[in-house]
């Protein structure tokens, strides 16, 4: 008579079944969120707007700057990679709208109840939304960043910013430029997740979009009216958009109010706070 086969003898590791079972709800939630996101017509338009606005606005800003205001072209201190990527300031609006609508749209249409019926674990549902939004924005942001750098390479030499004048074209082979490009994509992802957290907290799409855009744009606007240079520096250091976009700088880093990665960390802190508050309210309030 054969002895009974144990789980270990049969090649099963203890806890494997439990781990698979625990991962199944998340996989299902990810699939559901991705299906919802990609089947919404607004998603494609918003992602296209993110990439196109980033490229076109950056190209326009790049085309508007030349070396004629400098004593010599070589003496111009323009940060050309940062200039090429400046379109993200407007392109981020689409990321904000997408992040808010990922959850605010369901509250507006009443489909949040169906979502929570399919995925009863609210933490899993919110995590799936965050992952799908982050992935979609990262993909569109990457296209926007690459397109912006390509536009810069085409436009800058004609405006006097050539390698012969000490301004090599923006290239990912250059360490600071690669950091600026990668950091810009991360910036867009963090902004979208900040918007997702705001949407979860406020449950009103218009209110959440307004709140996030005000947070991003109003504080930088205030700095123009602050006469005290020390307060201007503090606002630039701790406001989410100026601090986060410090990651785009590739030269004269010692003159920045905050370094590239610490600046992006400031934005990440805002995003974490929004997700924590939004997540806590999402978990505890009725749908």
Q: What pLDDT shows up at residue 20? A: 43
Least Cα distance to 97 among 217, 199, 241, 186 occurs for 199
- Positive or negative CA dihedral for 128, 243, 105, 280? positive
Q: Which domain holds residue 159?
A: 26-284
Q: What is the pLDDT along the chain (287 residues), one digit of tens a residue?
A: 455 544 444 444 554 444 444 456 788 888 888 888 888 889 999 999 999 999 999 999 999 998 888 877 777 888 999 999 999 999 999 999 999 999 998 888 888 888 888 887 888 989 999 999 999 999 999 999 999 999 999 999 998 898 888 888 999 999 999 999 999 999 999 999 999 999 999 999 999 999 999 999 987 777 777 767 787 888 889 999 999 999 999 999 999 999 999 999 999 999 999 999 999 999 998 76
Residue 1 lies in a domain: no
Residue 195 lies in a domain: yes
Distance CA 120, CA 115 (A): 8
Least Cα distance to 86 among 65, 69, 70 occurs for 65
Q: Which residues of 161-178 are buried (b: 16+ CB within 10 A; e: fewer)?
A: bbeebebbbbeeeeebbb
Residue 71 lies in a domain: yes
Q: What pLDDT shows up at residue 175? A: 96
Residue 69 lies in a domain: yes
Residue 5 lies in a domain: no
Residue 233 lies in a domain: yes
Distances (CA, A) of 137 to 84, 122, 187, 227, 264: 19, 22, 10, 37, 17
Distance CA 246, CA 256 (A): 8
Residue 4 lies in a domain: no
pTM exceeding the 0.85 threshold for the entire prediction: yes
Query: Residue ranges of the alpha helices (H) in 40-87?
Result: 41-63, 80-84
Residue 2 lies in a domain: no
Number of domains in the chain: 1
Q: What pLDDT shows up at residue 110? A: 83
Q: What pLDDT shows up at residue 120? A: 77
Q: What pLDDT shows up at residue 17? A: 47
């Amino acid at each position: 008579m054969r002895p009974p086969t144990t789980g270990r003898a049969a090649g099963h590791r203890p806890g494997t079944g439990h781990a698979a079972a625990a991962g199944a709800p998340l996989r299902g939630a990810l699939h559901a969120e991705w299906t919802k996101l990609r089947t919404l017509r607004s998603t494609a338009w918003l992602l296209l707007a993110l990439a196109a606005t980033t490229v076109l606005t950056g190209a326009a800003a790049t085309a508007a700057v030349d070396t004629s205001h400098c004593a010599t072209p070589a003496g111009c201190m323009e940060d050309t990679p940062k200039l090429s990527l400046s379109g993200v300031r407007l392109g981020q609006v689409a990321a904000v709208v997408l992040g808010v609508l990922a959850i605010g749209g369901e509250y507006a249409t009443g489909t949040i109840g169906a979502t929570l019926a399919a995925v009863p674990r609210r933490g899993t549902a919110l995590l799936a939304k965050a992952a799908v939004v982050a992935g979609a924005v990262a993909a569109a942001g990457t296209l926007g960043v690459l397109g912006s750098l390509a536009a810069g390479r085409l436009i800058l030499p004609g405006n006097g910013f050539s390698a012969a004048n000490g301004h090599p074209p923006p290239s990912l082979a250059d360490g600071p430029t690669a950091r600026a490009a990668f950091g810009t994509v991360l910036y867009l992802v963090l902004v979208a997740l900040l918007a997702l957290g705001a949407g979860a907290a406020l449950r009103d799409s218009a209110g959440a979009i307004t709140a996030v855009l005000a947070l991003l744009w109003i504080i930088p606007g205030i700095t123009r009216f602050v006469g005290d240079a020390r307060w201007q520096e503090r606002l630039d250091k701790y406001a989410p958009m100026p601090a986060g976009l410090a990651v785009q700088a590739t030269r004269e880093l010692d003159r920045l109010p905050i370094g590239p990665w610490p600046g992006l960390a400031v934005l990440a802190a805002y995003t974490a706070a929004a997700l924590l508050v939004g997540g806590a309210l999402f978990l505890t309030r009725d749908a």
